[in-house]
Every structure is written in C-alpha cells, then in structure tokens.
Amino acid sequence: MTASSMMARLSGIGRDPKRGGYSRPVFSPAELELREWFVGEAQRLGLDVETDRNGIIWAWWDGPGRARENAVATGSHLDSVPGGGAFDGPLGVVSALAAVELMQASGFRPNRPVVIVVFPEEEGSRYGLPCLGSGLMAGTVSADRALALKDENGDTLADLFGRNGIDPDRVGPDAKAVERIGAFVELHVEQGRGLVDLSEPVAIGRSIIGHGRWKLRFEGQGNHAGTTLMSDRRDPMIPAARTILAVQEAAWAVPGARATVGKVTPVPGGSNVIASAVDVWLDVRHADESALQPLVDEITAHASGLARAAACRSSVSRESYSPTAAFDTDLIQRFTKVLPSAPLLDTGAGHDAGVLAPFTPSAMLFVRNPSGISHSPEEYAEDADVDTGAHALALILMDLSSE
C-alpha cells in the first residue's frame, strides 16, 4: 500500500473534536490502536515484530538465522501532542512500512537487517519528558525518575507500562538494543517552511538545535475569590502572568532564541478560586547552547523577583534537556548522493533521531509541509509528497542495506 493511502486509512484514529486535530497520548486508546495497526501491517509484510523492555516496537526484515546486528533502522513515533496534526510521527512509521513494501516489490534483498522502530512518548505530552522511549533505551533518561512520573490523572508511568505488558522492573538502559542499530534514519513531516521556500519535496536533516523544558512553580495562598480583599492576596497567578511576558521579552533580546510557554496549570484551577500554586512550563531552544542556559537563568531569576514582589514563592526544575545534535556527516553525504536535489535543513524540533545521534550514526529526511505549521491541526503534507518521501526513504534504505 502507498504511504499516502495508509495515511488516509489512519486519518480517523485519535481525532480530538474538542481541540481539533489529533490527541494521541502514549498508550491512550488511539495510540494503542495505531500500535496494533502497525503490528498487523508489519506482519503482513512478513516482518518479525517484538516489543522491547522500554515499550519500543521493532519490526525486523531479515532472514531466519541472520544475526540482528549492524541493522539499518528507520521509524518514528505514533503519539501526538494535544490537538496536533496527522503527520508528526505517523508519517515516519507509515513511510517506513511503505519503503519496505517498495523494496520487497522491486525484488531487492538487503545484505543487512532492516528494522522499523516505533518509539513511545516522543512528544512527552503525557509525562512531560520528550523522547522518553529512546531516552530510556539510550540511558539518557533515568528509569527511576521516569517510572515515578505521574500524568494528569495521577497515573504513574510504572502503572501505565505495567498495564500494557511492560515490566517496570526491566525498564531502563538497553545497550544491546542500541548496539544492534548500525544506522538510524527518521523520516518526518517538516515543521517549518524550509521546503516550501525552496520548492523541494524532501530535505535531508543536518541538525537539531539544543532544547529543554523547565517547570516554574509559583506558590501563594489558595483562597476565596469573593471574600479575599485585593490587599490580602498572595495570588501566584500574578507573578506567573508577568513571567510569561518576561519570557517573550528575554527571548527577543537573544538572536536565534525560541522560548515558549505553552502550558500553564493553576492548582486547583477554579474560576472562583485564587490559586494556591501555578505551574508554568517553559520551552527554550537555541542552536548555540552557550546562549541557551544564560537565557533560562535570566528568566528564572526574573521570575523569582516577580514572585517575591507578590508575596509568593517560586522554584524551578529542569524537566528535560537535549543538547544540539548534529547528524552523521557520512550518512548525510550518502543521502546527498542518493537524493542530489534534496537540500540540507536544520530543525528546531526534537526527535528520537537526535537522542540516538550520539550513540549510532543517525540522520533524518523531512517531507514538505505546505502550511509550514506543526503541533497544530493545520500541519499538512500533499499525497504526492508523502509518496515521494517514502520512495526517497526506500532509496536510502536500499543504499545502506546493500553493503
């Protein structure tokens, strides 16, 4: 089946009528449905499917008795941000399936195992930790910390994993799993306007800029909205709001910086309740890491002054951090030979390929997104570009696996 027809087939799964677009938190019914669909499609292609100790699905195209080492791996994720688009994640998985089908149909037989990999919780929408599956496998995320994290309903990752057949006691670094990947290629919908401006359907990824998430907590005194005089309040919403404005100003002052507050959680969150606490989630990105931390420091210092001025307290925790990741130059060179007209693009979005890059040669392909918009229902790719992307991926996989 072509990649575009697979995307069409999946288009009803995980729609979010309230927010628009798709909401597929990891291991939600929608994401589980996609995972199950993936397993069925992989088996239809004759791939051997296994789920590892970190909830990562592997679908192997290899012969009986062939050692699972030096594999050419490709894939992405099936979870989404709240109210996200159809393509971020699934496009890479669908294109991997389509690419294997194209290779099989052409009569090609790989000399190295080819494996499709599906990572859980890439977006970090449920537990706040992006690229959780790949990070656990690579050991860049602490298993103890991750397993104790709670989602909005107080459900821990340990419980969620346990209910889905993943033994929490076995979650954690898996050097053997990483070692068997000889090269990793992640295809992804582009999340900006690079390819639109260049009038090309497919790009080769060069790097991912450094990025991280911080949680700023403001604490005051929860109280009654009607009986508490303005002069008697310790309302943490006030320094939180002023901090959000300060984030924007501070980021504008640093060329190349991107800083976002996309999630604010008042506790307890009632319209007639002065909050007792407010969590402000800060996402900061910069290609030059030496500019990133000082910007975060400036914001948090400012936040603490604003909290004191409102008779509140503030604290900050770093929830996740991904250094700038440069993709493998040898792989990029090979991709360029196979796809001579594909431009090289850097991206501000995080990916499992960025987590794997320090451990195994990794690189990416991007498919044109005419809207230039992502993490939104408006994220888009034309059918023709989707199929061109899958074809490009097949050429890359054939080149790599024929050695």
| Type and span of the H or E element at 279 | strand 277-286
Size of the residue set binding Mn ion (CB under 5 A): 4
Contact flag: residue 89 with Mn ion (CB under 5 A): yes
- Binding to Mn ion (CB under 5 A) within 314-353 occurs at 349-350
Nearest to 56 by CA among 336, 356, 316: 356
Q: Which is nearer to ligand HGY, 92 or 236 (CB)?
A: 92
Q: How far is the CB of 334 from Mn ion (least distance, A)?
A: 23
CA distances from 266 to 217, 238, 271 (A): 10, 11, 10
What are the residues whose beta carbons fall under 8 Å from the beta carbon of 313, sequence distance 6 or more?
218, 219, 220, 307
**Angle between helix 329-338 and helix 383-401 axes, rounded to 10 deg:** 120
Partner in contact with 274, chosen from ligand HGY, Mn ion, none, beta carbon below 5 to 8 Å by kind = none
Which tokens is 170 given? Answer: 């076995």
Q: How far is the CB of 34 from ligand HGY (least distance, A)?
A: 16
Q: Which is nearer to Mn ion, 314 or 322 (CB)?
A: 322
How many Cβ atoms sit within 10 Å of the Cβ of residue 178?
A: 16
Partner in contact with 82, chosen from ligand HGY, Mn ion, none, beta carbon below 5 to 8 Å by kind = none
- What are the residues facing 267 on neighbouring strands? 277
Contact flag: residue 123 with ligand HGY (CB under 6 A): yes
Contact flag: residue 31 with ligand HGY (CB under 6 A): no
Q: Which is nearer to ligand HGY, 236 or 350 (CB)?
A: 350
Q: Residue 176: helix, strand or coil by DSSP? A: helix
- Binding to ligand HGY (CB under 6 A) within 129-148 occurs at 130-131
Contact flag: residue 121 with Mn ion (CB under 5 A): no
* Piece of the chain touching ligand HGY by CB under 6 A; list 122-130, 155-163, 217-225, 273-281: 122-130
Residue 131 region by backbone torsions, left for phi larger than 0, else alpha for psi between -120 and 50, else beta: left
* Piece of the chain touching ligand HGY by CB under 6 A; list 99-107, 113-121, 123-131, 252-260: 123-131
Partner in contact with 319, chosen from Mn ion, ligand HGY, none, beta carbon below 5 to 8 Å by kind = none
Contact flag: residue 266 with ligand HGY (CB under 6 A): no
CA distances from 184 to 350, 362, 392 (A): 15, 5, 15
161 residue type, one letter: F
9 residue type, one letter: R
Size of the residue set binding ligand HGY (CB under 6 A): 6
Question: Of these, 52, 79, 88, 219, which contacts Mn ion (CB under 5 A)?
Answer: 88
DSSP-derived letter for residue 230 is G
How far is 285 from 292, CA to CA, in rounded Å? 7
How far is 111 from 221, CA to CA, in rounded Å? 65
Q: Which residue has the tokens 């790949």?
A: 134
Q: Which is nearer to ligand HGY, 99 or 132 (CB)?
A: 132
Give me the residue whose beta carbon is nearest to ligand HGY. Answer: 350
User: Helical H runs in 131-227?
Assistant: 132-138, 143-148, 157-163, 175-179, 194-198
Partner in contact with 41, chosen from Mn ion, ligand HGY, none, beta carbon below 5 to 8 Å by kind = none
Q: How far is the CB of 127 from ligand HGY (least distance, A)?
A: 13
Question: Of these, 349, 393, 394, 397, which contacts ligand HGY (CB under 6 A)?
Answer: 349
Exposed (0-12), middle (13-18) or buried (19+): which is 74, by Cβ within 10 Å? buried
Partner in contact with 89, chosen from Mn ion, ligand HGY, none, beta carbon below 5 to 8 Å by kind = Mn ion
Q: Which is nearer to ligand HGY, 274 or 325 (CB)?
A: 325
| Type and span of the H or E element at 266 | strand 258-267
Q: How far is the CB of 399 from ligand HGY (least distance, A)?
A: 27
How many Cβ atoms sit within 10 Å of the Cβ of residue 62?
A: 17
Q: How far is the CB of 134 from ligand HGY (least distance, A)?
A: 10
399 residue type, one letter: D
Q: Which is nearer to Mn ion, 108 or 281 (CB)?
A: 281
| Contact residues: ligand HGY, CB under 6 A | 122-123, 130-131, 349-350
| Contact residues: Mn ion, CB under 5 A | 88-89, 349-350
